[in-house]
Structure 1
Amino acid sequence: MCGRYSLSKSKIELEERFQAEMLSDFHPRYNIAPTQLVPVITSASPNGFSYFYWGITPEFGKNKPVALKLINAKSETVDQKVSFKSSFQKRRCIIPADGFYEWKKLGKKTKIPYRFTMREGELFSMAGIWEEYESVNGETQHTFLILTTTPNEVVSDVHDRMPVILNKEGEKKWLDSYSKVEDLKSLFEPISSDFLLSYTVSPLVNSVQNDTPAVMRKTSPMDQHGNYTLFG
């Protein structure tokens, strides 16, 4: 799964990379988590950034562990499952990012956080689908899920899934409402390991309250308790 990611670039960098306008203020994010409102680009509005909730809105997410929240969808079955099929066909989006986090399990209790980025640290996008619904207050809400695929060699040492990462050509195809299903599914292959690197980060990333550059800094391998380990 993909449960945290970062978007630490500036508004200008985002607009230049994705050729889309951001009308609201944007502040760099270092530890984006489910239920938070973040920028995406949709097939319905490809020339501008929209702000959607990741997985579920905060009101619906109260008192529920992240494991119970729907934040990812398997790309291999997204066109087959009733709950995702319509979104896959009509409501696709890309999620801008400059890194994502995963946790490597060592034994039953130890987890070491890793950050994955492009080799040059540049912006990239993850494939997603989105939904629109009416809240109990009658307000229109939008949520999105990140599609995942099998891991490449860089990620597989840490986790058994990774986000579907798109290049610029893939982004255009994913957002094109006329793209064929076969062409869309061809985008689900994991990105080549040649383009990705990883490093261990501080367990600060474990808490959604920590949204500072310190979360992204490379550190020696540490478990969730802040203890150094030789097995990162």
Structure 2
Amino acid sequence: MCGRYSLSKSKIELEERFQAEMLGNFQPRYNIAPTQLVPVITSDSPKGFSFFYWGITPDFAKNKPVSQKFINAKAETIDQKASFKSSFKSRRCLIPADGFYEWKKVGKKTKIPYRFTVGEEETFAFAGIWEEYENESGKIKHTFLILTTEPNSLVSDIHDRMPVILDKENEKKWLDKYASESDLLNMLKTYPVDLMHSYTVSQQVNQIKNDNPTLIKKTSPMDQFGNYTLFG
């Protein structure tokens, strides 16, 4: 599962990295959570950033609990499940990020937050699918899901799933409407462990309302939990 991630780069940095235009303003994000409106790049508009809701929109969420099935989709069955098959075929997207969070359970009620990054804090893209629908008031809404796969050894110590991180050379192919299904499925693999890093971060990340640069800074477990230094 991937339930929280960061995108701490500026608008200019994102436009340069993905060679896509972003209309309007964008402020770096350090604690992106489900139901929030965030930038993606879609197969319908690969030269520009669109802003979609992650998983479910706030008005839809009022009547339904946020759960894994609304924010992630398993890469292993993406071409088989009726609920995702159509989106996989024609509505794919890149989800820009520069890190994601997972929590390691160390006691009955205690979890330590970890941040996972690629290379030297590089910007990368999750593989995603998107959907369009009309809400009760007749407005068109757009949502996206992050695809997940089996974890590498770095992530597996914390969680049994990890987001699909696309190789940079596959990003344009993922958006290509004429790409073959077999080629697309081959892209949905576990990211190499030797290209990733992880470290503990502040407990402040637990609260969605917190969204500031301190959240992505390395923090010793001792600073958060006192006697839990052995887990660092």
TM-score (norm 1): 0.95
Instruction: Kindly provide the CA deviation profile for residues 79-123 of structure 1, in whole angstroms up to 9, marking residues without a partner as x.
Output: 100100000001000100000001112243221100001121110
Change (3 A) 1:140 1:78: same
Counterpart position of 1:53: 53
Aligned residue in 2 for 1:78: 78
Counterpart position of 1:67: 67
Q: Which residue of 2 aligns with 1:227?
A: 225
Q: 1:150 is matched with which residue?
A: 150
Structure 2 alignment gaps of length 5 or more: none
The residue number in structure 2 matching 1:204 is 204
Give me the whole-angstrom Cα distance separating, in 2, the residues matched to 1:158 and 1:36: 25
User: Bigger CA drift: 110-119 or 5-14?
Assistant: 110-119
Pair 1:185–1:69, CA change in 2 (3 A):
closer
For 1:87, the equivalent position in structure 2 comes to: 87
SS for the counterpart of 1:70 is: helix
What is the aligned partner in structure 1 of residue 37 from structure 2?
A: 37
Distance 2:39 2:159 in 1: 26
Aligned CA distance change for structure 1 residues 131 and 145 (closer, same or farther; 3 Å) = same
Does the CA contact (< 8 Å) of 1:56 and 1:69 recur in 2?
A: no
My pick for the range that moved more, 183-192 or 67-76, is 67-76
Measure, in 2, the Cα distance between the counterparts of 1:147 and 1:196: 18
Deviates more, 1:197-206 or 1:65-74: 65-74
Is the aligned partner of 1:166 residue 2:166? yes
1:69 Cα deviation from its structure 2 partner: 6.0
The structural deviation recorded for 1:165 is 0.3
Alignment of 1:129 with 2:129, yes or no, is yes
Shift of 1:65: 4.7
Measured in 1, the distance between the counterparts of 2:218 and 2:138 equals 45
Q: Percent identity?
A: 71
In the TM superposition, structure 1's runs of 4+ consecutive aligned residues that sit over 6 Å from their partners are none
CA deviation after TM superposition for structure 1 residue 8, in Å: 0.3
Work out the CA distance in 2 between the residues paired with 1:45 and 1:60: 25
Partner of residue 187, structure 1 = 187
The alpha carbon displacement at 1:28 in A equals 0.3
Distance 1:141 1:63 in 2: 16
Q: Secondary structure at the match of 2:225?
A: coil
State the number of aligned residues.
Answer: 230
Partner in structure 2 of residue 24 of structure 1: 24
Following superposition, the deviation at residue 66 of structure 1 comes to: 3.5
